[in-house]
Amino acid sequence: MTLFLIFGVFLLALVAYFKKKLTFSGSVASIFVGSVIALGLDIFGLLLLAVFFFSSTALGSFYKKTGDDIVEKGQQRDAVQVLANGGVAAIFAFLYMFIPSPIIIYGFVGSLAAANSDTWASELGSFSKQRPFHILKRKRVEVGTSGAMSLLGTAAAFAGSFIIVVCAIFFWWGDYHNSHILLLILTFTGFVGHFIDSLVGAMWQVLFRCQTCLKETERKFHCGKLTVKIKGKYWINNDIVNLFCTISGALMAVVLGWLLL
């Protein structure tokens, strides 16, 4: 069964590569992440990963978003992006092979809930008719600016976390008498993980300014020229911020699950 699941992971990664949803490195990383999750959490773990991947990919396929000249990378996910969003989930799936505790599954679900929350907020938030509000600058900024939030994006963040947790409860805890409490806790951790993502992005993510059009951007090159750093730390890009998001979602899920359940 496990070998069949891993073969399925390989086929899906191959399709995603040819559909230009993943780069070659992203496909290799996806095979690694999916295989570890298949080994640790079997079919349910893979199905939850699939809910995250396919929902976020579908949302990103509607049409070219505004703000694409601000963000560092396009819609094709590379290995670093895959690991930033799914690497923490893979670690918890690996741990479950040696520590088969519900607490470990909480961490797995919390990391994917946070990743999905952040992805849905970014993808659906770009459709907002109003420009997002920067949580530290306290003013409206361009769509795609790290650390900016909108009402639509915030609602999407909650929905993204909620759908992951609902699926997880259906997979693992359908007959659990406190499943409603688990739904609230894990949805909360995913949503807060998204907020931490925005906060870290606003405080420390590196930002540059184009010397030609004077736009602020995450890219090191813009308008064919080298950009100038205006804030943040060079090593904290969007991938590192996403890693903060998934780690925080996982750890909060573990701690709150242990304390309350």
Domain parsing of the chain, residue ranges: 2-260
pLDDT, position 163: 97
> In the prediction, which pLDDT does 89 show?
98
Identify the pLDDT of residue 32.
Answer: 97
SS3 208: strand
**Cα-trace Rg, the chain:** 18
CA-nearest of 13, 184, 18 to 86 is 13
Q: Which residues, other chains included, contact 35 with Cβ-Cβ below 8 Å and sequence gap of 6+?
A: 6, 9
Query: What would the pLDDT profile of 21-67 be if each residue is shown by its tens digit?
Result: 899 999 999 999 999 999 999 999 999 999 999 898 887 666 545 55
* Predicted local confidence at residue 146, as pLDDT: 79
Spatial distance between the Cα atoms of 2 and 252, rounded to a whole number of angstroms? 30
Mean pLDDT by 10 residues, the chain (261 residues): 90 92 95 97 96 85 55 77 96 97 97 96 86 84 81 95 97 84 95 94 90 84 87 90 97 94 73
Task: Report pLDDT for 43.
Answer: 95
Question: Tell me, what DSSP letter sits at residue 140?
Answer: B
pLDDT the model gives residue 216? 81
For position 51, what pLDDT does the model report? 96
Between helix 179-204 and helix 238-260 the angle, nearest 10°, is 150
For residue 88, the model assigns a pLDDT of 98
Could you give the residue ranges of the DSSP H alpha helices within the chain? 2-18, 24-59, 79-96, 102-125, 151-172, 179-204, 238-260
pLDDT of residue 212: 85
pLDDT (0 to 100) of residue 69: 57
Amino acid at 55: S
What pLDDT, on the 0 to 100 scale, is given for residue 22?
93
What local confidence, expressed as pLDDT, does residue 62 receive? Answer: 61
- 82 and 239 Cβ atoms separated by less than 8 Å: no
Cα dihedral across residues 108, 114, 119, 120: positive or negative: positive
